[in-house]
Amino acid sequence: MLSIGEMARRSGVKVPTIRYYEQMGLLEEPGRTEGNQRRYGAAELERLVFIRHARDLGIAIEAIRELIALSADPDRPCAEADRIAADHLGQVRDKIARLRRLEAELERIASCSAATVGECYVLRALGEHELCAGEH
The pLDDT assigned to 126 comes to 83
Question: In whole angstroms, how far apart are CA 85 and each of 3, 35, 39, 46, 73?
Answer: 32, 42, 32, 20, 18
Which residues, 6 or more positions from 88, have their beta carbon under 8 angstroms from its beta carbon? 57, 58, 59, 60, 63
Q: What is the pLDDT along the chain (136 residues), one digit of tens a residue?
A: 999 999 999 999 999 999 999 999 999 888 888 888 889 999 999 999 999 999 999 999 999 999 999 999 999 999 999 999 999 999 999 999 999 999 988 888 887 777 888 878 888 888 877 777 777 7
Report yes or no: 21 and 61 within 8 Å, Cβ to Cβ: no
Which residues, 6 or more positions from 101, have their beta carbon under 8 angstroms from its beta carbon? 134, 135, 136
Which pTM does this prediction carry? 0.79
The Cβ of residue 58 has, within 10 Å, a number of other Cβ atoms equal to: 11
